[in-house]
Amino acid sequence: MSDSTLPASGVALATPVRVAVARKRRSKRMRTLFPYLLVAPAVLYLLMITLYPGAYAVYQSFFLVRFNSWTPIGFENYADLFADREFWAALWNTLVIGVLALALECFFALMLAYFAYRDPWVQGWRIAFLVPMLFMPSAVAFIYKLAFLDGRIISDLLMRVGLISENLAIPSSIWLSRATLILADVWQWTPFLFIIFVAALQGQDEEVEEAARLDGASWWQIFWNISLPLMRPVIAVALVLRGIDITTMFANVFIITKGGPGGATETISYFIYRLGFKSFNFGYASAASVIMLVITIVVAQLVVKRAFRSGRT
């Protein structure tokens, strides 16, 4: 690079200068391209698992797929899907379970984080609360399956304290089945939000709080008027990340309820799995995937982009 600064004086130097200029031009182009080259392998890799499957799903969604025979059927899969009550039910279940679980998790995590963040034992609380999050989701699903269904522990405990008089019929109750899934999610993932909220609270300026406290503000006023507004961007990011994972809930449904009773706990992920890999109706399942994909892209553009912009310092 430094040789390009050679003085271009005299005819004898013409050739080396030309070489130097050419090298400089090449290195300049190289420098513009360099950041793209660095990021390209990652982007290509991700395109392979997003663009390719996306295009494949769109293509397949216009076919009736029976093992290895593909019959083009136009928009029939989509028409069937929009008329399919199970599809709408799956969307509805995903929404109901997701919103309830997310609201509970956010409430508990905020409360616990606010109580714990200036506590001398905050490390200890964090480790204790973390434990459920570090179990494999499939193992957590079995804990809840055993406690609520097969082992009837919850029924037994509730009977012992006299809240109910006979075993709960969880598998046949729509809301108890949903509640089992919600509770399992709250148990495992509240710590996710808790850890993030504690970090955000610890990052806040202690002096502002102290000043407010000296002015006689109650802890609730401090929380509501000072801490919460400052935390808003962090809460947005955390809820977006958790929201994504809740709406893709699969292992719990697969292991605990299998979508029952009567499809009341079938989430959209389980719906796609069941149609594709249990009924082998791949074209139809692909149509459902495409609709999910469109919803995802819209949500990503509207919500996630904004959350991550504001969350960045």
Q: Which of residues 65-124 bind other proteins (CB under 8 A)?
A: 108, 111-112, 115-116, 118-120, 123
| Residue 226 touches other proteins, criterion: CB under 8 A | no
Binding mask 239-268 for other proteins (x = CB under 8 A): --x--x--xx-xx--xx------------x
| Residue 64 touches other proteins, criterion: CB under 8 A | no
Smallest distance, Å, CB 2 to other proteins?
A: 8
Among 98, 259, 263, 276, contact with other proteins (rule: CB under 8 A) = 276
User: Can you spell out the DSSP letters for the chain?
Assistant: -GGGGS---SGGGHHHHHHHHHHHHHHHHHHHHHHHHHHHHHHHHHHHHHHHHHHHHHHHTTEEEETTEEEE-TTHHHHHHHT-HHHHHHHHHHHHHHHHHHHHHHHHHHHHHHHHTT-TTHHHHHHHHHGGGGS-HHHHHHHHIIIIIIS-HHHHHHHHTTS-SS---GGG-HHHHHHHHHHHHHHHHHHHHHHHHHHHHHTS-HHHHHHHHHTT--HHHHIIIIIHHHHHHHHHHHHHHHHHHHHT--HHIIIIITT-STTTT--HHHHHHIIIIIS--HHHHHHHHHHHHHHHHHHIIIIIHHHHHHH--
Q: Which is nearer to other proteins, 174 or 293 (CB)?
A: 293
Smallest distance, Å, CB 10 to other proteins?
A: 28
| Residue 223 touches other proteins, criterion: CB under 8 A | no
Site for other proteins in 286-305 (CB under 8 A): 286, 289, 292-293, 296-297, 299-300, 304-305
| Residue 42 touches other proteins, criterion: CB under 8 A | yes
Q: Which is nearer to other proteins, 247 or 257 (CB)?
A: 247
Binding mask 130-149 for other proteins (x = CB under 8 A): xxx-xxxxxx--xx-xxx--
Smallest distance, Å, CB 14 to other proteins?
A: 27
Is residue 261 left, alpha or beta, with left meaning phi > 0 and alpha meaning psi from -120 to 50?
beta
Q: Which is nearer to other proteins, 101 or 200 (CB)?
A: 200
Number of residues that bind other proteins (CB under 8 A): 101
Site for other proteins in 147-206 (CB under 8 A): 147, 150-153, 156, 187, 191-192, 195-196, 198-200, 202-203, 206
Binding mask 9-38 for other proteins (x = CB under 8 A): -----------------------x-xxx-x
Smallest distance, Å, CB 11 to other proteins?
A: 31
Handedness of CA 99, 192, 221, 225 (dihedral sign): negative
